Amino acid sequence: MNHLWAPWRHSYITAEENPDECVLCTIGRESDRDADNFVLYRENGFYVVLNRYPYINGHLMIVPEKHVPDLRALGSDGQMAMMSLIAMCETALAEGLGCMGMNGGWNVGNCAGAGIPGHIHMHLLPRWSGDVNFMTTVGGTRVMSASLEDSYRSLLPYFRGEEDD
Ligand SMILES: [Zn+2]
């Protein structure tokens, strides 16, 4: 029997200091702190950010700057912009991290396990053969910032290149 591996069913932030503040809105607003927040790219009202609570190094999230709860609230232009960013992330993970495969997904609503149910975001995770045992160890914990910085540095060139087109 095949199991559905669904790592996006996991809260992004479980113990933030201020639960009233939407962390995805905050990161969206703080465009002057992109490197501190591990934001890799911004385009068309969206940003790409490394998850600070990843299932695996290189766990990306594609997020609209607007606080909307689901994909349909983005409208067709927003949906297409998001899909185009997901494709850009796919390239970055494949070439920047050399992953062998990927998983992606999103949650709508509390019952589906959305960590931040009011603010839609897409998860994209790199996969390698035999990585599952490793992930069950680090899943849900904050990885060392050195690992995040390594992933950030490896992925960044693949996002900068697109701006020159
Ligand atoms: Zn928000």
Q: Is position 6 within any domain?
A: no
pLDDT tens digit sequence for 11-63? 444 444 456 789 999 999 999 999 999 999 999 999 999 998 877 889 999 99
Q: Is position 14 within any domain?
A: no
Domain span at 41 = 24-159
- Cα 5 to middle of ligand 1, angstroms: 26
Q: Is position 165 within any domain?
A: no
- Contacts (Cβ under 8 Å, ≥6 apart) of 125: 7, 8, 54, 55, 56, 58, 59, 60, 102, 103, 104
Upper half-sphere CA count for residue 121 (Cβ side, 13 Å): 33
CATH of the domain at 66: 3.30.428.10
Q: Is position 153 within any domain?
A: yes
**Side chain identity, residue 9:** R
Q: Is position 91 within any domain?
A: yes
Q: Is position 17 within any domain?
A: no
- Cα 66 to middle of ligand 1, angstroms: 7
- Cα 95 to middle of ligand 1, angstroms: 30
Q: Is position 74 within any domain?
A: yes
Instruction: Report helix, strand or coil for 103.
Output: strand
pTM of full prediction above 0.85? no
Structural domain count of the chain: 1
Q: Is position 47 within any domain?
A: yes
pLDDT tens digit sequence for 114-152? 777 789 999 999 998 877 655 555 555 545 556 888 999
